[in-house]
């Protein structure tokens, strides 16, 4: 790939919406980590920070990501190895009945999938990866691996359902900000779509297209770009400690840049169950791990969370960048819930680079 092409890779996005993704703040993370030789993201989720990396060069950089959710790990493995087959299972109209059926399939396969991923580092299931991306792009909120919610309807489409990907004018749905609804959900309808359903991915209708062939080539192109970007990324599945145990991290290259984005803790006073693999205490464990390695000469660590979760680090030489989430999931919540978006913070270890003037703005 050319240098220009590699620069463009920094604009890649995940093909599905993800609660708590950090694409908005990725530039600040990379400003703190700099040109680290080994990048580790122990809770990668949508890989928003990885995909936003500037100046990525596979000949110079080693990258390792991990997620405890087997469905997420399978998505990234499958996109690496067989992007066209994943696209084949994503290239499908938004349909409530299909969402129910595919979510049931995801539920049935979830436990066995995790076991297979952990037993074989080369295993992946492109059909389940496609189902997950498609389903996540059809609806919003927690509980994707639950059988009865309706698709996302509040916008024209998100993820693989976004309008700009369309070559065929298929139905599109949208966004709802009612995260904790207990009702069975219909497709996301409140906007033009999200993820692979976004309206910006849609092309002109083609009545001569054979629906058994690749129908929306924009999805295939997108997934091939992701496959190329992920070609040399090591994808691990399991608890975050799988990539944080031992002392091997700086043997793959130094300096080591690490970005942690654990689930918000009990300090956040939020509901459990936002993630398929959730915990109200793991953020505390991660903070203490980071605290113990903050002064390692090879480590640059960025820890994301709410300010009050990790503010004790400031007395030990860490810096903080406070920021406010915008749009998307930051709108979720009643009463004081939406105010949570102003609690966000990045905590930068003493080894992180100093911010460029004007990049972070004023930091309290």
Q: Which of 219-233, 275-289, 314-328 has the lowest mean pLDDT?
A: 275-289
Asked whether the predicted pLDDT for residue 169 surpasses 50, the reply is no
Res 280: pLDDT: 66
Q: What is the CATH number of the domain that holds 11?
A: 3.40.50.150
Asked whether the predicted pLDDT for residue 361 surpasses 60, the reply is no
Res 205: pLDDT: 53
Q: Which of 13-17, 147-151, 260-264, 294-298 has the lowest mean pLDDT?
A: 147-151
Which residues sit opposite 345 in a β-bridge? 305, 322
pLDDT digits (tens, 9 = 90+) for 292-334: 999 999 999 999 999 999 999 999 999 999 988 765 444 444 4
Residue 10: pLDDT band (50, 70, 90) is: low
Residue carrying structure tokens 């703040």: 25
Total domain count, the chain: 2
pLDDT digits (tens, 9 = 90+) for 99-137: 989 999 999 998 899 889 988 888 999 999 999 999 998
Residue 282 belongs to domain spanning? 1-68+238-364
- For the chain, what is the mean pLDDT? 79
Of the candidates 237, 240, 243, the residue with the CA atom closest to the CA atom of residue 124 = 237
CA–CA gap between residue 249 and residue 270 (Å, rounded):
33
Same domain, yes or no, for 63 and 75?
no
Residues in CB range of 313: below 8 A, 6 or more apart: 287, 290, 291, 294, 303, 347
Res 206: pLDDT: 56
Asked whether the predicted pLDDT for residue 358 surpasses 60, the reply is no
Same domain, yes or no, for 55 and 123?
no
Of the candidates 288, 289, 315, 287, the residue with the CA atom closest to the CA atom of residue 303 = 287
Asked whether the predicted pLDDT for residue 220 surpasses 80, the reply is yes
Res 118: pLDDT: 86
Residue 148: pLDDT band (50, 70, 90) is: very low
Domain edge (last residue) among 174, 206, 231: 231
Assigned token pair, 7:
């620069």
Domain edge (last residue) among 231, 249, 277: 231
Asked whether the predicted pLDDT for residue 20 surpasses 80, the reply is no
Buried b (16+ CB within 10 A) or exposed e, 65-100: bbbbbbbbbbbbbbbbbbbebbbbbbbbbbbbebbb
Please answer whether residues 261 and 43 qualify as being in contact, where contact means their C-beta atoms are separated by less than 8 angstroms: yes
Same domain, yes or no, for 49 and 155?
no
Residue carrying structure tokens 């960048």: 321
Asked whether the predicted pLDDT for residue 65 surpasses 60, the reply is yes
Res 302: pLDDT: 98
Same domain, yes or no, for 80 and 223?
yes
Res 330: pLDDT: 45
Of the candidates 194, 158, 162, 190, the residue with the CA atom closest to the CA atom of residue 177 = 190
Please answer whether residues 307 and 345 qualify as being in contact, where contact means their C-beta atoms are separated by less than 8 angstroms: yes
Same domain, yes or no, for 305 and 190?
no
Res 192: pLDDT: 61
Same domain, yes or no, for 284 and 324?
yes
Residue 335: pLDDT band (50, 70, 90) is: very low
Same domain, yes or no, for 114 and 217?
yes
CA–CA gap between residue 225 and residue 83 (Å, rounded):
9
Domain edge (last residue) among 191, 209, 231: 231
Residue 338: pLDDT band (50, 70, 90) is: low
Residue 246: pLDDT band (50, 70, 90) is: confident
Same domain, yes or no, for 28 and 129?
no
Of the candidates 329, 321, 352, the residue with the CA atom closest to the CA atom of residue 275 = 329
Please answer whether residues 73 and 237 qualify as being in contact, where contact means their C-beta atoms are separated by less than 8 angstroms: yes
**Residue 344: φ, ψ to 5°:** -70, 145
Same domain, yes or no, for 60 and 203?
no
Of the candidates 41, 53, 40, the residue with the CA atom closest to the CA atom of residue 13 = 53
Most confident range, picked from 16-20, 56-60, 248-252: 56-60
pLDDT digits (tens, 9 = 90+) for 180-190: 233 445 666 65
Res 147: pLDDT: 42
Res 22: pLDDT: 85
Residues of the chain above pLDDT 70, percent: 65
Longest dimension (CA), the chain: 66
Same domain, yes or no, for 201 and 105?
yes
Q: CA–CA distance from 306 to each of 172, 180, 185, 186, 269 (Å)?
A: 34, 20, 29, 32, 11
Same domain, yes or no, for 105 and 52?
no
Same domain, yes or no, for 77 and 224?
yes
């Amino acid at each position: 790939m050319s240098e220009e092409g590699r620069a463009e890779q920094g604009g890649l996005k995940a093909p599905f919406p993800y609660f708590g993704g950090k694409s908005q703040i990725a530039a600040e993370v990379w400003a703190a980590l700099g040109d680290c030789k080994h990048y580790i993201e122990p809770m990668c989720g949508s890989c928003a920070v990885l995909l936003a990396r500037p100046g990525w060069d596979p000949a110079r950089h080693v990258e390792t990501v991990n997620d405890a959710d087997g469905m997420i790990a399978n998505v990234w493995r499958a996109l690496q190895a067989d992007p066209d087959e994943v696209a084949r299972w994503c290239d499908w109209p938004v349909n409530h009945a299909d969402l129910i059926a595919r979510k049931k399939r995801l539920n049935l396969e979830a436990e066995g999938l995790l076991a297979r991923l952990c037993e074989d580092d080369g295993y992946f299931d492109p059909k389940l990866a496609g189902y997950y991306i498609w389903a996540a792009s059809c609806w919003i909120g927690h509980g994707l691996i639950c059988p009865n919610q309706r698709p996302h309807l509040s916008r024209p489409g998100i993820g693989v359902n976004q309008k700009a990907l369309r070559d065929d004018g298929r139905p599109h749905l949208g966004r709802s900000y009612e995260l904790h609804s207990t009702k069975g959900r219909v497709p996301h309808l409140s906007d033009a779509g999200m993820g692979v359903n976004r309206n910006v991915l849609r092309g002109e209708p083609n009545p001569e297209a054979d629906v058994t062939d690749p129908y929306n080539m924009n999805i295939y192109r997108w997934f091939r770009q992701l496959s190329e970007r992920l070609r040399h990324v090591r994808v691990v599945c399991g608890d975050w400690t799988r990539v944080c145990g031992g002392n091997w991290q700086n043997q793959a290259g130094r300096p080591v840049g690490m970005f942690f984005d654990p689930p918000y803790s009990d300090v956040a006073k939020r509901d459990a169950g936002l993630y398929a693999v959730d915990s109200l205490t793991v953020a505390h464990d991660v903070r203490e791990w980071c605290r113990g390695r903050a002064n390692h000469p090879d480590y640059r660590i960025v820890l994301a969370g709410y300010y009050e979760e990790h503010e004790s680090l400031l007395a030990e030489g860490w810096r903080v960048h406070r920021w406010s989430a915008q749009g998307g999931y930051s709108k979720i919540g009643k009463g004081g819930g939406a105010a949570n978006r102003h609690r966000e913070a990045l905590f930068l270890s003493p080894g992180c680079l100093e911010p460029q003037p004007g990049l972070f703005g004023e930091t309290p």
